[in-house]
Copies of this chain bind each other. A is one copy, B any other.
Amino acid sequence: MTEQAIPSASVPATISRQELRELVRSQLEMLLEQQNFQGAKALLVPVQPVDIAEAIEGLPETMQAIGFRLLSKDEAIEVYENLDSSVQQTLIEDFKRQDVLDIVDKMSPDDRARLFDELPAKVVRRLLSQMSSQERQATALLLGYEADTAGRIMTPEYIALKETWSISRALEHIRNRADMSETVYYLYVTDSARRLTGILSLRHLVMGQPEQTIGDIMTREFVSVQTDADQEEVAQLIQRYDFLAVPVVDTEQRLVGIVTVDDVIDILEEEATEDIYALGGVQAGGDNYFQTNLLTVARKRVVWLSVLLLTNTVTTWVIRSQEAVLEQVVVLAAFIPLLIGTGGNVGAQSSTVVIRGINTQEIANRSAFTVIRREAIAGAFLGIMLGVVVTGWAYLLQGNLEVSITVGISLVAIAILASTAGAALPFLFSSIGFDPALMSAPFITTVVDVLGVLIYLNLARYVLQL
């Protein structure tokens, strides 16, 4: 890479510091303009932090934040310390700029992960505490936090204490900070390197003796999550332990924020909505559905409908291929919707309980095999109960015993098939990393419809001796 060589090799040995900085700045600006982020990142590797700071200060505002984010974590903190406090402030403003965010938004997740090192905890805190919660959401990608992770939902509005403080000093600190903090009920103890070393609750603080220090009463065994933890995991953690908040730390165990219980409630509701939508074949957007444009709505739904249509065309094709049977006994056609409809319903029941069980982790300690066998047996029970009823009803409707028995036996077979597929497919999709709620319905329908019609019409051929 030629860019990398510029500051170190291709410049004269006698270049002044000022000239070097100007060179770095102009090269950096050019590379950023070309959106050659990989090149820009490489350019900065051999340069001293103090020179990078100067170069970044000289960049146009849209480029400052991106340039800064291309630095490694260690460099970033040094460069940040070398920036003028007024430039530090400008940098924070840059992190909120929509044109900057648009650039980041266009990168692929892989690119972002490769380009952006973790931000230093100190800088994260400074940045986040000057933003509203909406701004935090918007800038989170630029900070390196992917959607639906702890980094996205955390707030920097927590109170941090030091181990050596007395209880009265801590209470004084809380009094001064309470208005700026999301919760004062959980307090976080950090060392000089911002590493989280303990937590304590306001309850413990209030119950402590005045002569005790924070180190005396804090809990050293605590639960924390990393910035890249999935938000659903964080929610389940808070739910399981009845926490009011959980601390979020970076890879070096430095405290960068907390996630509070009220956010968790919203996340759990959002996740439930997603599950329900997926089961109903609707793609959940982040937005309120009822405010979404109608064409967008139709476009989102048509994908799933088309997948199911494909399923249905296979069914149609199978029926068409068995037309010889139908031509001889047309009344057989009248029972096809009943058979595949009931099969679909049995399959939906099995997949509903299995999918919900997987998502709420109720099923976690059971083997897939046990659950599938259980559902298959339930399907057999249901098939027999319904099959008897249907056989009688079919006989009443058209008076042909062979047709009635064919319908009844087919229903039992289809119910077992449907409940087994309904229980097994969610496990399959879950194990290969797909959302079972979204994926199961079309596949269960396909299995039940296609195999169901084949079972039915072939059984008819055999029983009716066609």
- Give me the interface of A with B, judged by CB distance under 8 Å: 171, 174-175, 178, 184-185, 202-203, 206-207, 238-239, 242, 244, 261-262, 264-266, 268-269, 272-273, 275-277, 279-282, 288-290, 294-295, 297-298, 301-302, 304-306, 308-309, 311-313, 315-317, 319-320, 323, 326-327, 330-331, 333-338, 340-342, 345-346, 348-349, 351-353, 355-357, 360, 362-363, 366, 371, 374, 377-378, 381-382, 385-386, 389-390, 393, 397-398, 445, 449, 453
Q: Once bound together, how far apart are the Cα atoms of A326 and B332, in whole Å?
A: 11
> Which of B184, B269, B371 contacts A360 (CB under 8 A)?
B269
Q: Once bound together, how far apart are the Cα atoms of A327 and B330, in whole Å?
A: 6
- Which B residue's beta carbon lies closest to that of A184? B203
Q: Once bound together, how far apart are the Cα atoms of A330 and B329, in whole Å?
A: 10
Chain B residues near A268 (CB, 8 Å)?
265, 268-269, 272
* Closest CB pairs A-B (n = 6): A280-B352, A272-B272, A333-B333, A242-B262, A312-B338, A298-B381
Chain B residues near A327 (CB, 8 Å)?
330
Having A185-B203, A316-B334, one finds 4 other A-B pairs with CB under 8 Å, namely A174-B207, A175-B207, A276-B355, A301-B349
- Which B residue's beta carbon lies closest to that of A324? B330
Q: Once bound together, how far apart are the Cα atoms of A12 and B337, in whole Å?
A: 79
B336 and A336 contacting across the interface, CB-CB below 8 Å: yes
Q: Once bound together, how far apart are the Cα atoms of A305 and B419, in whole Å?
A: 13
* 18 pairs from A and B in contact (CB 8 Å cutoff): A178-B203, A206-B206, A261-B261, A276-B276, A280-B353, A282-B353, A288-B362, A290-B362, A298-B385, A301-B378, A302-B382, A312-B338, A315-B337, A320-B334, A330-B333, A337-B449, A337-B453, A341-B445
